[in-house]
Homo-oligomer: A and B are copies of this chain.
Amino acid sequence: MAANVLVVEDEPAILELIAVNLEQAGFHVLRATDAESALRLIGEALPDLMLIDWMLPALSGIELVRRLRREERTRALPLILLTARGAEVDKVLGLEAGADDYVTKPFSPRELVARLRAVLRRRRPEVGEEVLEAGGLRLDPAARRVLVQGRVVALGPTEFRLLHFFMTHPERVHSRPQLLDRVWGDHVFVEERTVDVHVRRLRAALEPHGLSGLIQTVRGAGYRFSVQMAQDA
């Protein structure tokens, strides 16, 4: 989720101001003070989004936008332009050049972050939204809902994510550390036994619907979601 944002702004003070705000919002910020160094940075690795000042030395912001749009590799790169207040015309020209959005200076940090997120969200074509079916279960990620024979299974957020992971990685054993990594996130630190508790809660939620044995304990190894082995004593 930590998106890389490349900020191109020639005024060092403003650049830092923006960078600090974005980093506080959880973004990873790359800095550039002119278009050329920005292009150089892009050459190494594509960021997830670019924030470009309208006024830049040498190659102007809008020129940079146009150039990025011409290149195949950077064509789909989300771009946001920073324009000075009152430059109404610039907005139109900027959007025509191919920017995804613009922010007028001065701006509030909240507004900037909101715009950023909006653009990032819009560009992503929602991956992993297919409905999953296995072992009589029907999990719909978009609706965030689990059904078994038309009946809704009541699940908490963590249980839902856990089941989601199990269903996307069935028929194999996952250790507790692995589950913590994939379901809780690699930055979270919780006890391994917490997994046990949530597995139990998930089992308890499935039981009333006649489903049991789907999640199996592999002693000394971890847990496994299995449709095949679901019916044994």
Binding site for B on A (CB under 8 A): 88-89, 92-93, 95-96, 101, 104, 108, 110-111, 114-115, 117-118, 121-122, 140, 142-145, 152, 154, 156-157, 171-173, 177-178, 181, 186, 189, 218-221, 224, 226, 229, 232-233
Chain B residues near A117 (CB-CB < 8 A): 96, 177
Chain A to chain B contacts (Cβ below 8 Å), 10 pairs: A88-B104, A88-B111, A89-B108, A96-B117, A96-B118, A111-B189, A142-B172, A143-B172, A144-B221, A156-B219
Chain B residues near A232 (CB-CB < 8 A): 152
Copies in the complex: 2
> What separation, in Å, do the CA atoms of A181 and B117 have in the docked complex?
10
Interface centre among A114, A122, A140, A144 (most CB of B within 10 A): A114
Partner of A218, one of B88, B93, B144, B171: B144
Check B157 against A221 for contact (C-beta < 8 Å). yes
Interface centre among A122, A145, A156, A218 (most CB of B within 10 A): A145
Can you name the residue of chain B whose Cβ is closest to the Cβ of A89? B111
Interface centre among A89, A178, A233 (most CB of B within 10 A): A89
